[in-house]
Amino acid sequence: MQKVRATFSSCLAVLIIGVLAGYAVMLLPQYAEGETISSSPTITIGSPAQQPVRIDANSSSEAITIRVNGVPYTYYTTVSKSTPSPALKPLVTAPKVPTGLRVVSIGDGQLDVAWNKNSESDLKHYRLAYKPAGGSYKSVFTTGTSYSLTGLENGKKYTLKVKAISNSGADSSYCSFVYATPKATVPSVPKGLKVVSVGDGQLDVAWNKNSESDLKHYRLAYKPAGGSYKSVFTTGTSYSLTGLENGKKYTLKVKAISNSGADSSYCSFVYATPKATVPSVPKGLKVVSVGDGQLDVAWNKNSESDLKHYRLAYKPAGGSYKSVFTTGTSYSLTGLENGKKYTLKVKAISNSGAESSYCSFVYATPVNSSPSPSESKVEVKTLAPGTKYATPLYVINSGKPGPVVMVVGGVHGNEKAGYTAARKITEYQISRGTLLVLPEANQLAIKAGRRAASGYSDLNRSFPQTSSQAPKTALSRAIFNAIKEHKVDWLIDLHEGYDYYKNSNTSSVGQTLIYYPANSTRTTAQAIVNDLNKGIKTSNQKFTLLRYPVKGSLARAAGEYLGVRAMIFETCSKPALSTRVNYQTQAVNKLLNTLNMR
């Protein structure tokens, strides 16, 4: 129902005054149909103030009740709407009903509404009323033509309406209802999920950043094959999942969640399988020192940062492997059996338990390195006994297993350093194996001070030159048989040359080590040459490693036909005898040390 403000025209006022004769009447200009006006407008007839007046501007007949001193008087008058004067006419027109109410945007607990501006110039404000389904209206007042209703309940259908209110308080009816349901903004599905790196029990994942400004966080879900999903929440766009099971295929997905709790769908699955990093195979395993029941070994440090330890495995010949674990790169194996050849190998193990392969085998034999002299037993035999060649053979037996080494001097009677050194070596004590010393192989030549005694052939051309050939002389036969009888492993025949091998003006082989190439002979021969050259400053006096002792020589025959690791050692006869003898003994010492016999 429309409310109308009206006023009495001066003519109507005259009528009223006529009814209420005797009273001074003043009608104030405004009152409203259907309202009870308690104080204003007021009709005053003398005193006191009068009761309210009712008037219906739409009626053609008006009943006006005026109380005077509490007594109601009713006056009927006729007002023609077609002839406004002296009819009532509106003093204040109610504003028009606002048009165009609409919901501009729907948000998270929010509705943004707007409507068209009213044209009235005396508009005070608008009243926007809203209520959720099943709830009650609330109102807000605004002078503008739009409003953001916030704090609404997502998912509830709201009814909205607006009316206009003039400065005089006259208000329009509400406009037609408009409906809208606020809802949270659903973030978009995160894009670009990928596995950045695969690690040991770990997957590092990342995805693109969402563009929404009201994003709370992401939910990254993951599960192993055959398992259930677990989730982590993160505000960032990457995550390192750890503690995963290596070798299991994981399914990964991510979604975005807004501040309101609205969540996107999960993105497409991504798959990855964490795996342990296998350490590289340790390098450089070597035996640093050999002791009494002990082997000290070392190897190079691995570069992996997640290495847990190394596994050093060792076994004696004919035995089984045992292992020790160490975080270091060296280890002293103790309690080993002296004389037993041990096989050693090492591998690396990561924190996750991933293991490298074992490195190549290394072999070593622990020995008692400080034997008591009484343990070595020296036996002096005679080769070619009862002949003019008869010569002593010293058999120095350590009493412990080990290599059989034969040192020979005096094959040539004019090569004094060789047999002088060999004589000294007959006094050696050894810690393992057997040392045979034949210091003066050719007694006749030594007595003559010549390469060969007059009328005799060169002993070093008297040994077999084919596998079926027999030694040529009784002496070479006796020496050859001794090598066979004692199962000699290593032979070093001490000689001298008249010049340095490095002096190309002569063909002498002074300062050389000439080996027969078989098995690992070269390695040991090279070690002897290197050891000697460390102490020699003049380059053309340095020792040279050569191979293939001359055919018919003791070293050649022993190496080629008896499987002996054989070599000829030659000093140059130019330096003082003591110097040459030192070279000779140093060469033999190096050989014995290499074989762990001293």
**How many CA atoms lie less than 13 Å away from 463 in the CB half-sphere?**
22
Q: How far is the CB of 510 from Zn ion (least distance, A)?
A: 10
Should residue 495 be labelled a site residue for Zn ion when binding is judged by CB under 5 A?
A: yes
Dihedral sign computed on CA atoms, order 351, 357, 362, 368: positive
Q: How far is the CB of 418 from Zn ion (least distance, A)?
A: 7
Strand 544-547 with 512-515, pairing: parallel
Q: Which of 226, 231, 361 is nearest to 285 (CA)?
A: 361
Q: By C-beta, is 412 or 556 nearer to Zn ion?
A: 412
Q: By C-beta, is 361 or 498 nearer to Zn ion?
A: 498
Q: By C-beta, is 51 or 573 nearer to Zn ion?
A: 573
Q: By C-beta, is 131 or 450 nearer to Zn ion?
A: 450
Q: By C-beta, is 253 or 412 nearer to Zn ion?
A: 412
User: Terminus-to-terminus CA distance in the chain, angstroms?
Assistant: 128
Q: Would you report the helix, strand and coil content of the chain in percent, each value rounded to 5?
A: 15, 35, 50
Q: Which of 346, 197, 196, 360 is nearest to 279 (CA)?
A: 346
Q: By C-beta, is 477 or 495 nearer to Zn ion?
A: 495
- Report the SS3 class of residue 368: coil
Q: By C-beta, is 521 or 553 nearer to Zn ion?
A: 553
Q: Which of 298, 304, 390 is nearest to 351 (CA)?
A: 304
Q: Which stretch binds Zn ion (CB under 5 A): 44-52, 213-221, 491-499, 523-531?
A: 491-499
Placement of tokens 């002979």 in the chain: 521
Should residue 347 be labelled a site residue for Zn ion when binding is judged by CB under 5 A?
A: no
Q: How far is the CB of 508 from Zn ion (least distance, A)?
A: 10
556 Cβ contact partners less than 8 Å away, ≥ 6 residues apart: 463, 465, 516, 548, 549, 550, 566
Ramachandran quadrant class, 201 (left: phi over 0; alpha: psi -120 to 50; beta: rest)? left
Q: How far is the CB of 415 from Zn ion (least distance, A)?
A: 5
Q: How far is the CB of 495 from Zn ion (least distance, A)?
A: 3
Site residue total, Zn ion (CB under 5 A)? 3
Q: What amino acid is encoded at 354 in this protein?
A: A
The edge-to-edge listing of strands for the beta sheet with 294-298 is 286-291, 294-298, 330-333
Dist. CA 317–CA 336, nearest whole Å:
12
Q: Tokens for 56?
A: 């219906």
Q: How far is the CB of 556 from Zn ion (least distance, A)?
A: 13
Site string for Zn ion, 403-442 (x = CB under 5 A): ---------x--x---------------------------
549 φ, ψ (degrees, to nearest 5): -55, 150
Should residue 580 be labelled a site residue for Zn ion when binding is judged by CB under 5 A?
A: no
Q: Tokens for 148?
A: 């953001």
Q: How far is the CB of 441 from Zn ion (least distance, A)?
A: 10
143 Cβ contact partners less than 8 Å away, ≥ 6 residues apart: 124, 125, 126
Q: How far is the CB of 481 from Zn ion (least distance, A)?
A: 22
Q: By C-beta, is 220 or 441 nearer to Zn ion?
A: 441
Q: By C-beta, is 152 or 555 nearer to Zn ion?
A: 555
Q: How far is the CB of 492 from Zn ion (least distance, A)?
A: 13
Where on the chain is the footprint of Zn ion (CB under 5 A)? Answer: 412, 415, 495
